[in-house]
Amino acid sequence: MPSDSMSPAGPVSGARLGSLIRQVLRSPVRQFRLGNLRRWSERGIIALVMQTADNSLTLSLRRRFGRLVMTSAQGHGEPNPSHLPQAHTAAAAIARRVEQEGGVSAEARGSWPEVFGIPLTAHFLGGAVISASPEDGVIDPYHRVWGHPGLHVVDGSAVPANPGVNPSLTITALAERALSYWPKTDETDQRPSQ
């Protein structure tokens, strides 16, 4: 049976950190091996779990020890969860399946940010809302910034929702669509004016 090493302990509390410390004290050699990065990709499975909550991170530059570092904090919307119980349930199911099918020991483990309650995201998306008017967003349906028709947003900022997977193809599709409306040399712009 897979070890339930990072069981859902709820919001950031001493429970999750305490669970990690107990595991390290119980089997320090095993925990060291699990943390060894050598050939890690051959021994691990990453289970990406996305959520649909309307929340955000606010990024800022701060000075620490004389150096500029980027930090994140809770943005607008719902609070950013540091632990997703459904993610742990999915990871435990994967670990059980690996043990059953592969005959090897498997564990459902959390991540360091989860243990310490640090919200993170794999892909920074959104922010430049596509809208029908400047009152409701940043860019028009042709990806022109409202009030600045020569300025276009064709990167991840224009992605309207979490695609649930690596967003590179979504970003490319949005950019190709936006650029397909650009007039060619010696053509008139067929896009409506702002």
Question: Quick one: tokens of 137?
Answer: 């967003």
Please state, in angstroms and rounded to a whole number, the distance separating the CA atoms of residues 146 and 139.
5
Query: How much is the pTM?
Result: 0.59
Where in the chain are the domains?
14-50+83-115, 123-194
Segment 83-133, tens digit of pLDDT: 778 888 888 899 899 889 888 777 777 666 777 777 667 777 888 999 999
Segment 156-182, tens digit of pLDDT: 999 988 787 788 999 999 999 999 999
Instruction: Clarify whether 148 is annotated catalytic.
Output: no
- What is the Cα gyration radius of the chain? 22
Under 8 Å between Cβ of 139 and 155: no
Under 8 Å between Cβ of 174 and 160: no
Catalytic residue (choose from 88, 123, 148, 152): 123
